[in-house]
Amino acid sequence: MNSRKSLLTSTVLNLAALGALPWACFAQPDPNWLDHDRNRPQPPVVAPATPSTPEQAGKAPSDATVLFDGKDLSQWSSMDGSPTKWITREGYMECVKGSGYIRTRQNFGDCQLHVEWAAPVPAHGEGQGRGNSGVFLGLDRYEIQVLDSYESKTYADGSAGSIYGQYPPLANVCRPPGQWQTYDIVYTAPRFDADGKLLSPVHLTVFHNGVLIQNNVQLTGPTSWLERAPYQPHPEKQPISLQDHGNPVRFRNIWLRELGQSDKKEVAPRAAGLNLPTSLLDSYAGKYDSVEITREGSQLVALVGGVKFLMFAESPTKFFAKTTDVQIEFPAGVQGKPDRLIWSVGEGANEAKRTQ
């Protein structure tokens, strides 16, 4: 294992030792896979979402959990679990003043969340009183503000797309009231240890109508009015809720994709490699088209694409690298110097003829 790999490995192991940390915040190549590893699982195939039009909501990606398809509120309840008094109309739901927040019946942790909303028309009220609702992650703790900020002013950290009281949006991308708008949210739930100590805070990324307005911001705790509230430990998976702030804000086409690491690999020690006689290794040394083989001590070194790889023997004729998925095979049963080799990086098999 070279020093780069061992450094990466120890960094990851040290982080892992801290507890179940959200992978997304520490995204880095998993050192348990080789570069270009041919055995690494393929990413799942997902049919993309269909974009919405002003008249019609689009369709969720094929792997999404559809939370509201414009027809019924079966996935939602009031906060105490009883049926909500929010109403559904043609293709959307609408907040009913005084009926309270609604929440999903299911719990979610790290996720990608798509929400479409429209502020009431004609516009009514000013500032925080104009088309106010909110998308909350972590039950009712972390609010992405929904507000009619189209040609309407309020304090910046309470405007549309703000992380309420903490982060103003990077831009005001509001459409006029009555028009459908999109939020695409990436949420990383906070992590707490067994004693309730915060291990990592909430991270949020938000696109408003396709424009980035929150770039992986770290929350200081729950969003709230007048004060900065500290984190209180809670389960990683919680419902998502929508705010009743007294305004008949509409919602449609709500879907969610749970996030996780699909190709996580348990650490398995790699084969050490066989010890082969130096005379055999010397017989392999030479130039083969674009690949050069030399011997360093008791090992072969392959120069592939201008990069040197220390090779380990799987058999007397097959060699592999431990950093990148480079494999080299010499023809079996050859006395003396072979006239060719087969090499591959991650896929396929390329023949290279000896030139020297």
Residues of this chain that bind Mg ion (CB under 5 A): 132, 134, 243, 245
Q: Which phi and psi angles does 11 have, rounded to 5°?
A: -65, -45
Cβ nearer to Mg ion, comparing 244 with 329: 244
Kindly state the smallest distance separating residue 135's Cβ from Mg ion, in Å: 9
Kindly state the smallest distance separating residue 321's Cβ from Mg ion, in Å: 55
Cβ nearer to Mg ion, comparing 132 with 181: 132
> Are 34 and 321 contacting, i.e. CB atoms less than 8 angstroms apart?
yes
> Are 57 and 117 contacting, i.e. CB atoms less than 8 angstroms apart?
no
Q: Which phi and psi angles does 218 have, rounded to 5°?
A: -100, 125
* Pairwise CA distance, residues 12 & 50, whole Å: 38
Cβ partners under 8 Å of residue 43, min gap 6: 262
Kindly state the smallest distance separating residue 145's Cβ from Mg ion, in Å: 5
Kindly state the smallest distance separating residue 83's Cβ from Mg ion, in Å: 23
Kindly state the smallest distance separating residue 54's Cβ from Mg ion, in Å: 24
* Pairwise CA distance, residues 102 & 94, whole Å: 11
Cβ nearer to Mg ion, comparing 59 with 175: 175
* Pairwise CA distance, residues 186 & 207, whole Å: 9
Cβ nearer to Mg ion, comparing 103 with 245: 245
> Are 31 and 50 contacting, i.e. CB atoms less than 8 angstroms apart?
no
Q: In sequence order, what are the beta bridge partners of 296?
A: 299
Cβ nearer to Mg ion, comparing 137 with 291: 137
Kindly state the smallest distance separating residue 169's Cβ from Mg ion, in Å: 13
Cβ nearer to Mg ion, comparing 183 with 288: 183
Q: Which residue is nearest to Mg ion (CB)?
A: 134
CB atoms within 10 A of CB 146: 26
